[in-house]
């Protein structure tokens, strides 16, 4: 008996995950599930738990590498209207986890609500951004998030708020399986001034990052207060290539991919970079890129 009987309209089997990531690499998922409601999501989680099927949540795949062998178990993507909606209440925005982060930033600016401009140019879903406390030189999302609504593996829904909710560099103390939405506190500001700020951030990123290439953002976390990109550059690794994967000449913490690249090429290049940095600077680089 198929464990997803009755849910065939939201479940694909042996689904290519490369179609859902910015790298466009990797194998298939045993099950790819796109629930249309909270109840369906609960049902899917329950069936997976009963049948001991591993579950992963997929956002926009903008900072993710899928193994060439694919992913065993179920990959859930929250993309229906119930999981992408946003609403505004005074200086607060309540946004679902599947909301487009870039669109949310612009919508807030147009409404004269400031607090998310630092996230300009960071692709992804709101849930993914919260899970890794996305940010950069200009700030991170955790500074504005007041609370999150979560769902555990048993389908229980609960809210976690500050100060119990703690953000740090590329980290948040969320262990629940699913982020459903977030309440974000903003402040009234001048839309024209915010648009100017956004344009300045875009120009900075355009000049310093390989935006017109296939990449998945920064590969490594900064460490000991040092820029991972600067360390890789100092090690002379810009342009280093293994198979179809190459260290960007523009920003050394980006790995770009070329035609016929495999996930294995990216992983081998990551290992080569880590080894060189360890040998040269006695520093163990940690991944910011997520690998499944």
User: Which strand (E) or helix (H) includes residue 257?
Assistant: strand 255-257
Q: Residue 175 CB: number of other CB atoms within 10 A?
A: 8
- Position 119 scores a pLDDT of 93
Give the separation between CA 71 and CA 85, rounded to whole angstroms. Answer: 28
- Position 138 scores a pLDDT of 80
Give the separation between CA 229 and CA 232, rounded to whole angstroms. Answer: 5
Q: What percent of the chain has pLDDT over 70?
A: 100
- Position 211 scores a pLDDT of 84
Helix, strand, coil share (%) of the chain residues, nearest 5: 30, 30, 40
Going by pLDDT thresholds of 50, 70 and 90, the confidence category of residue 45 is: very high
From the list 94, 158, 153, the residue with the least C-alpha distance to 126 is 94
Q: How does pLDDT run across 98-152, given as a tens digit for each residue? A: 999 999 999 999 999 999 999 998 889 999 999 999 988 788 999 999 999 999 9
- Position 66 scores a pLDDT of 98
Going by pLDDT thresholds of 50, 70 and 90, the confidence category of residue 17 is: very high
Overall average pLDDT of the 59-73 stretch: 96
For the chain, helix (H) and strand (E) counts, in that order, are 6, 20
From the list 160, 142, 141, the residue with the least C-alpha distance to 150 is 160
The correct answer on CATH 3.30.465.10 for the domain covering 82-194 is yes
- Position 58 scores a pLDDT of 97
Give the separation between CA 4 and CA 53, rounded to whole angstroms. Answer: 12
Per DSSP (E only), the strands in the chain are 11-16, 28-33, 55-58, 64-65, 71-77, 86-89, 92-96, 113-114, 135-136, 139-140, 145-151, 157-161, 167-168, 171-172, 178-185, 187-188, 241-242, 245-247, 255-257, 290-291
- Position 4 scores a pLDDT of 94
- Position 224 scores a pLDDT of 81
Q: How does pLDDT run across 193-224, given as a tens digit for each residue? A: 999 999 999 899 888 889 889 999 999 999 98
Angle made by CA atoms 192, 140, 219, in degrees to the nearest 5: 120
Going by pLDDT thresholds of 50, 70 and 90, the confidence category of residue 2 is: confident
Q: What is the mean pLDDT of the chain?
A: 95
User: CA–CA distance from 134 to each of 58, 149, 289 (Å)?
Assistant: 15, 18, 12
Query: What dotted CATH number matches 228-291?
Result: 3.90.78.10
Where are the chain's structural domains? Answer: 8-77, 82-194, 228-291
| CB 257, CB 245: distance < 8 Å | yes
Give the separation between CA 277 and CA 52, rounded to whole angstroms. Answer: 39
pLDDT at 1 over 80: no
From the list 288, 290, 251, the residue with the least C-alpha distance to 135 is 288
- Position 164 scores a pLDDT of 96
Q: Which CATH number fits domain 8-77: 3.30.70.3270, 3.40.47.10, 3.30.43.10, 3.40.50.300?
A: 3.30.43.10
72 Cβ partners below 8 Å, 6+ apart? 30, 54
8-77 and 228-291 share one fold: no
């Amino acid at each position: 008996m198929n464990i997803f009987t009755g849910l065939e309209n939201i479940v694909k089997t042996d689904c290519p995950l490369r179609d859902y990531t910015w790298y466009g690499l990797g194998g298939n998922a045993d099950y790819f599930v796109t629930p249309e409601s909270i109840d369906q999501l609960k049902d899917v989680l329950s069936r997976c738990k009963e049948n001991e099927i591993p579950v992963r949540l997929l956002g926009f795949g903008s900072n993710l590498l899928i193994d060439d062998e694919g992913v065993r178990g179920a990959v859930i993507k929250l993309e229906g209207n119930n999981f992408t909606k946003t609403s505004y209440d005074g200086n607060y925005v309540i946004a679902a986890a599947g909301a487009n982060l870039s669109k949310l930033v612009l919508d807030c600016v147009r409404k004269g609500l400031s607090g998310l401009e630092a996230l300009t140019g960071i692709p992804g879903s709101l849930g993914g951004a919260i899970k890794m406390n996305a940010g950069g030189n200009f700030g991170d999302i955790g500074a504005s998030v007041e609370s999150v609504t979560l769902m555990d593996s048993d389908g229980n829904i609960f809210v976690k708020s500050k100060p119990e909710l703690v953000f740090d560099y590329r980290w948040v103390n969320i262990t629940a399986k699913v982020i459903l939405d977030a309440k974000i506190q903003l402040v009234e500001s001048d839309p024209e001034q915010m648009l100017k700020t956004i344009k300045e951030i875009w120009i900075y990123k355009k000049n310093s990052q390989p935006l017109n290439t296939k990449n998945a953002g920064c590969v490594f976390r900064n460490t000991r207060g040092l820029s991972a990109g600067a360390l890789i550059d100092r090690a002379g690794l810009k342009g280093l290539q293994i198979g179809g994967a190459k260290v960007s000449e523009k920003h050394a913490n980006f790995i770009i991919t070329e035609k016929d690249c495999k996930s294995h090429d990216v992983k081998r290049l990551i290992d080569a970079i880590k080894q060189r940095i360890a040998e040269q600077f006695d520093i163990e680089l940690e991944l910011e890129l997520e690998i499944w």
